Amino acid sequence: MIERKSSREIAKQAQAGAIVAETLQLLADEAKPGVTTGELDRLAEKLIRRRGGAPTFKGYRGFPGSICASPNDMIVHGIPGAVALGDGDVLSVDVGVTFRGFVGDSAVTLAIGEVAPETRRLLAVCQESLHRMIAACRVGNHLSDLGHACQTYVEGEGFAVVRALVGHGVGRRMHEDPQIPNFGPPGRGPELREGMVFAIEPMITAGSHEIRIDDDGWSIYTTDGSMAAHFEHTVAITADGPQILTYGSDGTSVVDRSV
């Protein structure tokens, strides 16, 4: 069952989302060659707690980090640690914050230093695919219209959409119904209604869409070693159209900044 939130609940969730946006901005400012993902994790946790939030991922099924930090051919769910960023890397940082009972969830893939032009294009296409999915978040559309918008655009650009990982409903819990694939035919699945809140998160690669899970039980990589990108916003469906809940107090996010 897809839970629907009241406008009051959505406003609360946007408060959690604002802390997420602030944290992603901090990570974007600090992610440079030589910095480790463990250092980024500590900075993020400190900021989230200073704002009165809790890092949603920490302890989730035993996950040890406050953020997910996934470089290069790692798609998502990377455990922060001793890995230092290098010039030309990309890094997906994914942040979840629980604040006053609600969860905000957002991610961005950052270019570290000078990145190859084709890799930069991969990031730009993933970012645009997120916005095309958000544009499909209108009352009366169907859930699969989101994935269809993503797949047609991304494959038209020559990249692949990961099949095995999906977006999700989000609210008081990080993972609620429905699952939101980033591929598929249009016009299928439940009709979108006011008050639904989705974590929309296209994951795309420069090669095959196949994935493998690392021996650590978390890190998910492309099987062919190709670069991956991941962008995510938490979005409410309202009578006036989609409302992004993971914006900072200034009404913007690094997730939307040009790449």
Contact residues for Mg ion (CB under 5 A)? 94, 105, 107, 199, 201, 232
CB nearer to Mg ion: pick between 94 and 156: 94
Q: Which is nearer to Mg ion, 89 or 232 (CB)?
A: 232
CA atoms within 13 A on the CB side of 244: 25
Instruction: Classify 199 as helix, strand or coil.
Output: strand
**What distance in Å separates the CA atoms of residue 123 and residue 203, rounded to the nearest whole number?**
10
Tell me the residue ranges of DSSP E strands in the chain: 54-55, 67-71, 74-76, 90-99, 102-111, 160-161, 167-169, 176-180, 197-200, 203-205, 211-213, 220-222, 228-230, 233-238, 241-244
**Cβ closer to Mg ion: 61 or 239?**
61
DSSP H/E element including 13:
helix 7-30
The residue (of 146 and 225) whose beta carbon lies closer to Mg ion is 146
List all residues 6 or more positions away from 114 whose beta carbon is below 8 Å from its beta carbon.
87, 88
Instruction: Give the whole-angstrom CA distance, residue 167 versus residue 155.
Output: 18
- Compute the least distance from the CB of residue 34 to Mg ion, in Å: 26
Q: How far is the CB of 67 from Mg ion (least distance, A)?
A: 9
| Nearest approach, Cβ of residue 37 and Mg ion (Å) | 16
Which is nearer to Mg ion, 59 or 113 (by Cβ)?
A: 59
CB of 234 to Mg ion, least distance (A): 8
CB of 116 to Mg ion, least distance (A): 25
